[in-house]
Amino acid sequence: MSLSDEVFFVLSGGLKLLAVFQPANDRARFGILMVHPFGEEKKCAHRAFVETARALARHGVASLRFDLRGCGDSEGDFGEATVRSWIEDVRAAWGVLRERLPDAPLGLLGLRLGATLASRACRDVGPVRALVMWQPIVEGRAEISGELRRLLVQEMVSRGRAGRRRDEIQSRLERGEGTVALDGYPLTPAMYRDICAMRLSDDVPAWPACAGIVQFGRSSPRIEAFAREARCRLGIVALPPIWVRSDFIPGPSAGDLLAREAVLPFLDAE
């Protein structure tokens, strides 16, 4: 257990966002802002974030992890959040981290949608010395299509058959009609449009020299191809996908592995 964690609120758009600052055990040689993934993936990945932050502290890296508006313990309505408002939250949290560590180089670390938000935030905050993207969403439209397919599989498991098709759901969202519950989290038409419009390649010009992508368990040809084109570093960590495996609870050893193999090499790449 770490007694040095400091819990407080960050203000963003008039909302209080819960944040946890993890100081480095010694003088911070780097500071990292951690951006969590979407919906249920955040819940699954929570412990991995905690253990990673604590392991990073032992390696001289301070961190700030926080809940985006409408998520976790933060104020706000998940159904009213947009990508733009979440980027505003990242910017606010970044400002707090900068206040805490006025002299240390700072970087962004995100998982899944959090990685893509971190990538997008490179346009708005600065200077960013390192960007570490854990299994980022490369193409928002393809990601949403996959998520809707996962929803249909859930329906099949609970009812025997999937009762609808993705194109029907997508047409309704594109017309602005209703919302879709993804593991209980509302995917609104506004969020659907926002995520569909996200393309990691759009952000590459704003990336710092130290930018890297980390995959979990096995390599995806799609991400490999993207990393080659974007000329960013690529790593792979021998852990299950921490954002979907609620039965895998990372302990300190997993946190240490994540820190050593999925964060630190990307901070020291220069």
Partner 1 sequence: MAAERIEDTIKKMMVERLFLKMKPEDIGDDTLLMEDLGVDSVSVFEIVVGLEEVFGVTFEDDEFDIQNFRTPRSVADYVRRKLASRDGA
Judged by the rule CB under 8 A, the positions of this chain that interact with partner 1 are 149-150, 152-158, 160-162, 164-167, 240, 244-245, 248
Nearer Cβ to partner 1 (177/247):
247
In the chain, the amino acid numbered 183 is: D
What's the chain's Rg over C-alpha atoms? 18
**Do 255 and 54 form a contact (C-beta atoms < 8 A)?**
yes
**Do 50 and 256 form a contact (C-beta atoms < 8 A)?**
no
- In the bound complex, what is the minimum distance in angstroms from residue 238's beta carbon to partner 1? 11
Nearer Cβ to partner 1 (84/165):
165
- In the bound complex, what is the minimum distance in angstroms from residue 162's beta carbon to partner 1? 4
Return left, alpha or beta for 86; rule: phi > 0 is left, psi -120 to 50 is alpha, else beta. Answer: alpha
Nearer Cβ to partner 1 (78/243):
243
Nearer Cβ to partner 1 (151/190):
151
Residue showing tokens 């993936």: 41
Does the bond joining 127 to the residue before it have cis omega, within 30 degrees of 0? yes
Residue 156, both tokens? 């099949």
- In the bound complex, what is the minimum distance in angstroms from residue 33's beta carbon to partner 1? 29
Give CA 18 to chain center in angstroms: 16
Please tell me whether residue 109 adopts helix, strand or coil conformation.
strand
CA neighbor of 93 nearest in space, from 170, 12, 26: 12
- In the bound complex, what is the minimum distance in angstroms from residue 161's beta carbon to partner 1? 5
Nearer Cβ to partner 1 (222/228):
222
Nearer Cβ to partner 1 (154/253):
154
The CA distances from residue 10 to 66, 148, 241, in Å, are 8, 33, 29
Give CA 244 to chain center in angstroms: 13
Q: What are the phi and psi torsion angles at 215 (to 5°)?
A: -110, 155
- In the bound complex, what is the minimum distance in angstroms from residue 194's beta carbon to partner 1? 24
- In the bound complex, what is the minimum distance in angstroms from residue 248's beta carbon to partner 1? 8
Nearer Cβ to partner 1 (9/248):
248
- In the bound complex, what is the minimum distance in angstroms from residue 181's beta carbon to partner 1? 14
